[in-house]
Amino acid sequence: METITTFTSELSILEISYLIASILFILGLKKLSHPATARAGNLWAAAGMGAAILFTILFHQKDGQPIGNIIWIVVALAIGSFIGWYASIKVKMTAMPQMVSIFNGMGGACAALISLMEFPKMQNHLASLPEPVSNMLGGEGIAILLGLMIGGVSFAGSMIAFGKLDGRIGDIKHPILRIVNLTFLVVLFVALFVILFMKPEADNNFPIYLFALAALIYGVTFVMPIGGADMPVVISLLNSFTGVAAAMGGFLYGNQAMLTGGILVGSSGTILTILMCKAMNRSLLNVIIGAFGVAGAGGVEATDKTVKEISLSDAAVLLSYSQKVFIVPGYGLAVAQAQHLCHELDNLLASKGVEVKYAIHPVAGRMPGHMNVLLAEADVPYEKLVEMEDANNEMSNTDVVIVIGANDVVNPAAEDDPSSPIYGMPIIKALDAKNVIVMKRSMAAGYAAIPNNLFYHAKNRMLFGDAKATLQKLVAEIKSL
């Protein structure tokens, strides 16, 4: 009987709830690896977080006393939950990257605020201790300072990323920013160690506020020079920052659920960042010092080149009598909200015996997996989504490639123009196919703001117009054949 009583004590129940929450986080992340189980994965992870919050409120104690201000906590949870729910149902698919940036930034801000609240308490406590102990902050201080630094960078950087994605903030590109960012990074780490070994003084919080300000400034200068085409890498990296900052809070409070969640987000975000860097042909160091997009515009002037157009009727005939067709989706498809019509075209061609697949570039769109989410919304079977490398292996046997709203991910400058800022970036090799049709509103450059010589190639035909309206007409034209 005594064993059961010990097992059901508040501390034991709380620890078990954290263990269950951590398991749900891990299982949820595992289920996110496949679209068929991704929805369930989100729900499992959300259930884990809900359980961790509920059991913390009910059973967490400090100095033998339960948590106070329950009403305020419940009200704050209700307001935050409503805002999150309302934002998620109202956000357009084209604005999903902006929402991800904001939510990610809020996570970083929370981690930074935790550090700002806990540092004065630790400072005052250590100032009252004997001299041999009071001259070093220790492990708790390291967790606080790292949480503040990483969380501040994540918050400020995510807000700048939001502004860039939403078209409210432009790029500031100058080679000197490489030096500025690298210098700022070194200064932050030096300041961290200086504060760590400073003699604690009661009510002296000026150094920590100055440190927080430096972290926020670095977050801004870190993201400002980064070009729009590289934004998926930035979002992924900032996401990993937020996870690491949350893990510092887990260390600080001895909260296993917070620690596990932060580690999972931080590690998965780091892995994704490395994959994004590979897809963009960037180094991780260039990510950290914010050196993206600093090169010149590059590209060959195309004012003397000829653009060939294709009519709707000719495009319908070419597609209907093909054996294999690849569709390359891009951000323009999301802007036009044409994913459902794209799937309708896919089904119509399939009914005529045409094999249709989708070539997905890792950084197509404005965030990692943007195109996968967009097409999943239109119920496109996951089996039809082909990763870039596999798609490139099939291009030589492809009759037609339809590029809908994509630009930089099919730009041949990445392979044949050393002066281009995207030179060396792996692309979908549309020109290996027998025919290419590019659907665009105009000849405007893509997010990287560089010319695309694919438009002028002999294999390519341009089909101008809004993607949604053009696809509607194209579907009608194929049906009439």
pLDDT reading at 229 higher than 70: no
What is the value of pTM for the model shown? 0.79
Give the pLDDT of residue 289: 63
CB 375 within 8 A of CB 343: yes
Mean pLDDT of 199-213: 84
CATH of domain 312-479: 3.40.50.1220
Distant-in-sequence, close-in-space partners of 419: CB < 8 Å, separation ≥ 6 = 296, 298, 299
pLDDT reading at 475 higher than 80: yes
Query: How does pLDDT run across 237-294, given as a tens digit for each residue?
Result: 899 999 999 999 998 888 888 999 999 999 988 888 888 787 777 677 766 665 544 4
Give the pLDDT of residue 22: 92
Using CA atoms, how far apart are residues 332 and 423, in angstroms rounded to an integer? 22
pLDDT reading at 453 higher than 90: no
**What crossing angle do the helices spanning 35-59 and 256-280 adopt, rounded to 10°?**
150
Query: How does pLDDT run across 399-438, given as a tens digit for each residue?
Result: 999 999 888 889 998 888 887 777 878 889 999 999 999 9
Which token pair is 21?
Answer: 């929450």
Q: Does the annotation count 63 as an active-site position? A: no
Give the pLDDT of residue 378: 87
Give the pLDDT of residue 385: 92
Active-site residue, selected from the candidate residues 379, 408, 416, 432: 408
Give the pLDDT of residue 474: 94
Give the pLDDT of residue 134: 47
Give the pLDDT of residue 227: 66
Query: How does pLDDT run across 320-356, given as a tens digit for each residue?
Result: 999 999 999 988 888 888 899 999 999 999 999 999 9
Q: CA 145, 183, 119 angle in degrees (round to 5)?
A: 15
Reported confidence tier of residue 1, pLDDT bands at 50, 70, 90? very low
Cα separation values, 125 from 20, 58, 133, 222, Å:
34, 28, 11, 35
Mean pLDDT of 287-304: 50
pLDDT reading at 302 higher than 50: no
User: Where do the structural domains in the chain lie, given as residue ranges?
Assistant: 1-90, 93-294, 312-479
CA-closest candidate to residue 454, choices 349, 328, 369, 370: 328
